Structure 1
Amino acid sequence: MADLQDELNVTAEAGELDAPAAPAGPPSPGPGPGPAHDLLARAPVADGYCALPGTLSGLPWYDLEPGEYAVETDLPRLRRGRVGAQLWALHLQPDRPVTSALEQIDLVHQVVHRYPEGLRLAGSASETADARAHGRIAVVIGPAPAAAAGDSLGTLRALHVLGLRAMSLSDARWAPHDTGLTPFGEQMVRELNRLGMLIDLTGTSAVTAVRVIDISQAPVVLTRSGAAALNDHPDNASDELLTVLGANRGLCLVPCSAQRTGPALRDLADHLDHVRRIAGPDAVGLSGMHDSGEAHPEGLGDATGYPALVTELTERGWPEPDIALLTWGNVQRVLRGTEFTSRAARQRQSPPTARR
């Protein structure tokens, strides 16, 4: 199966109105040349968690193109930090989760449409690669909390049609912390696989995470988890879970979060070192956590800090291929693996109709 995954075409056809840009990634008007910038030009950052939609929904007005200092994420800073793709997380209102999910997805579509020279919506690895080839930053919708689906497979499918590509299971009633998954929860995991949606296990219990990994035919992700061995934040992953994740070709996206990884850039680098050592270089990535309301390590309050982080990792002896996996390659691999699983499942499965 791995061989077939590697054969998937990850570059879509060029858009009719766009001439392909050089394959160096998004343009960067920011700080000048240097080894870190050169490396990020070849392998830009695929940021696994940005909470911008929730922040924008509370603003009366914004403009991301010239620079918007009411937020931590705008186009100039994304370009300076050499960001090539982001997962835009949805923030739901507890009393109306499905409606607020729809409103947040609508907002993402509006924002991407408003900045066509900077952003491009992407629902697959080929579309993120295409966005990069045209000098745009790919926006992948998700993760959304499981409550967005309202315990309904039909609602889940409708959210997928609207562009949702990742779901977090930490708040799911069908994924209880003590027993792992209910029978309906197992149906939801299989349907997430069939649809081609990333499964985010951040904040789930160990028993739930292991059960999901056992059932899922696609690689799973932790979108904002550091190493519990270095910081016992409840969302951080134990060495046992990291080992299982690595063995099953999953991905731990280590967050730029002072609470989860520490107040200094070197603290974040320590977590990246640890995850890489325990789970392997194929299982570690980055999450900016920008606009999430969490404090960030010094120097990483926005995307412009990524070159400094790459410099730190280089000085620690990370080889360029491992850094390229960290910044871009591992997220692309997981997206491709999820797509492959979906294509195979759709050939042999009909949409299930079970309800919780």
Structure 2
Amino acid sequence: MADLQDDLHTTPEVGGLDALPPLTEPLPPEAYAPVCDTDAAPLDRARALLAAHPVADGYSGLPWALRHLPWYDLQLGESAVDTDVPRLREGHVGALFCSLHLPEGLAADRAVAATLEQLDLVRTVIAAHPDGLRLARTAGQVIDARNCGRAAVLLGPATAAALDDSLGILRVLHTLGLRVLTLTGTSWASEAGLTRFGEEVVREMNRLGVLADLSGASGQTAHRVIAASKAPVLCTRSAARALRPHPANLPDGLLAELGAAKGLCMVPLTAEQTGPTVRDVADHLDHVREVAGPECVGLSGTYDAGTAHPQELADASCYPHLIAELLRRGWSETDLALLTWGNVQRVLRVADFTARAAQERREQSAARIAELDG
């Protein structure tokens, strides 16, 4: 019970957003008090809004980028990467998901060890920068980090290959802090869809509170995971395929399905997936909001992931420019608060409660892939 109370801890500084019950229903407009002077310039209004409703960034490639640096200082600033503490503060980033993804071509028999090394690196970086970063596992810990002036760091997404087809390894990774797993690139989550063992993986993820990431997953796998999961699912790096035919972008039918299931599409700030300008990114956000609903859209900086970024969005400090563009387009402060912070908080909170409910109903799974898919 003490853990549950910790997760529900809130303060008035977050404008009442996180004091709401952990329901999957859309949050009421009164939860988001206006924070901007509508007579101010859009960039000033954007900064004022982000001060109250900071960005929860759905994907950072910082861990792998830091592996190649002999020395770095994220507290004072680090020019060799796109993300450091000063730029997180300038961009009003309150939380970020640190990717544990591995580079293509890494031998499959190294996936588990390499993921553990990535996870260890992130924890080491956080420990070395206590004035700017704080590890978070739950929605409540994300809020606490924000209220203490730190950026909350959540671990994941990790690649599904890191499980080595073992639910025991999934549980170990969760114990070490894993919060998101990308369901692609395995025999049980493939182009053909989700197998019986894959469905058991999803059930165990729900029981643990590990969120499913469907960016890059096949349509068959995505449809089945959305149907099977009791917790909301994420697409940590997906924009609108109707606007840009990138394989990781989502068709309108899947966007609508994701919205109906209260999932979250986190639009990446990359030139390859969204286009070369901040206006292109805003077009994708407009489209996802229109098709899936304002409760289904989030942001994914995708900084330090080896991709080019649109003009005015070169690093983690640039989020006010994107929010200013959306203000010019007439986005309401309610929808912007959902986009930057509220939708991620809802997904995390619902996943936490789903996990607690599942743990009361079922024991940990002992299923093996040979038994279900052999």
CA distance in 2, matches of 1:214, 1:122: 28
- Partner residue, 1:224: 237
CA distance in 2, matches of 1:297, 1:11: 37
CA distance in 2, matches of 1:22, 1:223: 27
Identity over aligned pairs, percent: 56
Would you say the 8 A contact 1:21–1:134 is kept in 2? Answer: no
Pairing 1:101–2:98 present: no
Q: Secondary structure at the match of 2:114?
A: helix
Aligned counterparts, 1:102-141, within 5 A:
102-141=116-155
CA distance in 2, matches of 1:158, 1:282: 32
Pairing 1:256–2:269 present: yes
Q: Secondary structure at the match of 1:90?
A: coil
CA distance in 1, matches of 2:14, 2:336: 18
- Partner residue, 1:286: 299
Match for 1:192 among 186, 201, 205?
205
Match for 2:180 among 166, 170, 183?
166
- Partner residue, 1:28: none
CA distance in 2, matches of 1:305, 1:167: 27
Shift of 1:22: 5.5
Would you say the 8 A contact 1:197–1:338 is kept in 2? Answer: yes
Deviations 1:150-170 (A, max 9, x none): 110000000000011100012
- Partner residue, 1:48: 58
Would you say the 8 A contact 2:14–2:53 is kept in 1? Answer: no
Structure 2 CA distance for partners of 1:298 and 1:8, relative to 1, 3 Å? farther
Question: Structure 1 residues 94-103 or 261-270, which shifts more?
Answer: 94-103
- Partner residue, 1:335: 348
Question: Structure 1 residues 91-100 or 153-162, which shifts more?
Answer: 91-100
Deviations 1:23-47 (A, max 9, x none): 59xxxxxxxx821111001100000
- Partner residue, 1:324: 337
CA distance in 2, matches of 1:84, 1:170: 28
Would you say the 8 A contact 1:11–1:130 is kept in 2? Answer: no
Would you say the 8 A contact 1:11–1:127 is kept in 2? Answer: no
Would you say the 8 A contact 1:45–1:82 is kept in 2? Answer: yes
Deviations 1:77-118 (A, max 9, x none): 110000000000013262200001111111111011111110
Q: Secondary structure at the match of 2:94?
A: strand
Q: Secondary structure at the match of 1:87?
A: strand
Match for 2:71 among 31, 48, 61?
61
Match for 1:34 among 40, 44, 51?
44
Structure 2 CA distance for partners of 1:133 and 1:11, relative to 1, 3 Å? farther
Pairing 1:308–2:318 present: no
CA distance in 2, matches of 1:8, 1:218: 20
Give the partner amino acid of 1:331: V
Deviations 1:176-232 (A, max 9, x none): 212x11111010010111100110000111111010001000000100000000000
Give me the TM-score of the superposition, normalised by structure 2.
0.87
Give the partner amino acid of 1:131: A
Give the partner amino acid of 1:257: T
Shift of 1:21: 11
Give the partner amino acid of 1:47: D
CA distance in 2, matches of 1:331, 1:36: 19
CA distance in 2, matches of 1:342, 1:350: 12
Shift of 1:8: 8.3
CA distance in 2, matches of 1:248, 1:21: 30
Match for 1:12 among 9, 16, 24?
9
Q: Secondary structure at the match of 1:303?
A: coil
- Partner residue, 1:150: 164
- Partner residue, 2:216: 203
Would you say the 8 A contact 1:189–1:216 is kept in 2? Answer: yes
Pairing 1:352–2:365 present: yes
Unaligned runs of 5+ residues in structure 2 are 16-42, 370-374
Give me the TM-score of the superposition, normalised by structure 1.
0.91
Match for 1:72 among 67, 71, 82?
82
CA distance in 2, matches of 1:10, 1:100: 31
CA distance in 2, matches of 1:335, 1:86: 13
Measured on the aligned residues, the alpha-carbon RMSD in Å equals 1.8
Would you say the 8 A contact 1:174–1:184 is kept in 2? Answer: yes
Give the partner amino acid of 2:121: L
Q: Secondary structure at the match of 1:117?
A: coil
CA distance in 2, matches of 1:75, 1:22: 21
Give the partner amino acid of 1:82: H
CA distance in 1, matches of 2:14, 2:140: 14
Deviations 1:246-272 (A, max 9, x none): 000000000001000000000000000
Unaligned runs of 5+ residues in structure 1 are 1-6, 14-19, 25-32
CA distance in 2, matches of 1:204, 1:230: 19
Shift of 1:12: 3.5
